[in-house]
Homo-oligomer: A and B are copies of this chain.
Amino acid sequence: MYGLIGRMIAAPGKRDELLAAMSGGTSGMPGCLSYVIALDRENPDALWVTEVWDSAESHKASLSLPAVREAIAKARPIIAGFDNRVETIPVSGLGLQGAK
């Protein structure tokens, strides 16, 4: 499995708009076992995204899906930056939809 953890910083005051843009593209992505968007408790402009995929290839392919491309196009103008990005190898878990 392939995992991603990262933080996304919205342009000031744009977190809700960024969250709406992101949430639109996250269903029906082949190979996506978990995709969670969470608010940072301290930074009012930051979102945490934690993802689990059945493979890195599935993750990469998702970036070409129409709904994902549309979400990225909406989000890009209101993203100020990314940090805390980590790629992981998920090995066990609860809430992994049909993980092999």
Interface on chain A toward B: helix, strand, loop, or mixed SS? Answer: strand
Contacts of A96 in B (CB 8 A): 34, 36, 95
Counting contact residues on chain A (CB < 8 A from B), the size range is 35 or more
B38 touches A89 (CB 8 A): yes
Copies in the complex: 2
A25 to B: closest C-beta gap in Å:
11
Taken together as a complex, chains A and B put the C-alpha atoms of A37 and B94 apart, in Å, by 9
- A residues in contact (CB < 8 Å) with B: 1, 3, 5, 19, 22-23, 26-27, 29, 32-41, 48, 50, 52, 84, 86-97
A-B contact pairs, 29 of them (CB 8 A): A3-B38, A3-B48, A5-B48, A19-B91, A23-B92, A27-B94, A29-B94, A34-B34, A34-B93, A34-B94, A35-B94, A36-B50, A36-B52, A36-B90, A36-B92, A36-B93, A36-B95, A36-B96, A37-B92, A37-B93, A38-B89, A38-B90, A39-B88, A41-B87, A41-B88, A41-B89, A50-B50, A95-B95, A95-B97
